[in-house]
Amino acid sequence: MNTITVPGWGSVELENLVLDLNGTLTESGDFIPGVVDYLERLKAKGFKVYVLSGDTRGVLQQTFELSPDIEAVVTETAEDKKRFVESIGAETTVCVGNGNIDVEMFKVARLSICTVQAEGAATKAVLHANIVVTHISHALEILLDPDKLIATLRY
Ligand SMILES: [Mg+2]
């Protein structure tokens, strides 16, 4: 459990990292360079890592078969994503995503980070995130370095 106290904002105990796949971890179906290494570092820090995708390309399970510690879950709708986050414990979950389909899980998760990369981000996803970043590596760096989270969210 990674506990971080942010002055004026609150305390977060983060145990689960839930990531959208397309547009967040990948660009045009390929992993954004460096992403897999970051996920390994976050797992070493104690995060349970989940990747949620509509699996439009039908390759989700195959993509993660060499990473048994990352749970890949097929989710069809925004409601599916929200229900999954609630099932693992929304209060201890940080979500990272970029689309309208991520908005409902952003609303229930303790912490939500929106990535605006090559595929863009839905305006609603930006509005419902606690933090907006321009690259997935920045989102994952924030989770690796609590001082960055504190500096951004404190009042
Ligand atoms: Mg996406």
Tokens representing 86 are 């609630």
Q: Where would I find the beta strands (DSSP E) of the chain?
A: 2-6, 10-14, 16-20, 26-27, 30-31, 48-53, 70-74, 93-97, 111-115, 131-133
Rounded to an integer, the average pLDDT of 134-144 is 96
The Å distance, Cα 133 to ligand 1 centre, comes to: 14
Asked whether 17 and 47 are in contact (CB, 8 A), the reply is yes
The Å distance, Cα 21 to ligand 1 centre, comes to: 6
The Å distance, Cα 20 to ligand 1 centre, comes to: 6
The model's pLDDT over 56-102, given as tens digits with 9 standing for 90+, comes to 778 787 888 777 788 999 999 999 999 999 999 999 999 999 999 99
Closest by CA position to 20, among listed 148, 87, 110, 116: 116
pTM of the model: 0.94
CATH topology assigned to domain 2-153? Rossmann fold (3.40.50)
The Å distance, Cα 40 to ligand 1 centre, comes to: 21
The Å distance, Cα 22 to ligand 1 centre, comes to: 4
The Å distance, Cα 8 to ligand 1 centre, comes to: 31
The Å distance, Cα 102 to ligand 1 centre, comes to: 7
Q: What is the pLDDT of residue 61?
A: 79
Is the per-residue pLDDT at 1 higher than 70?
no
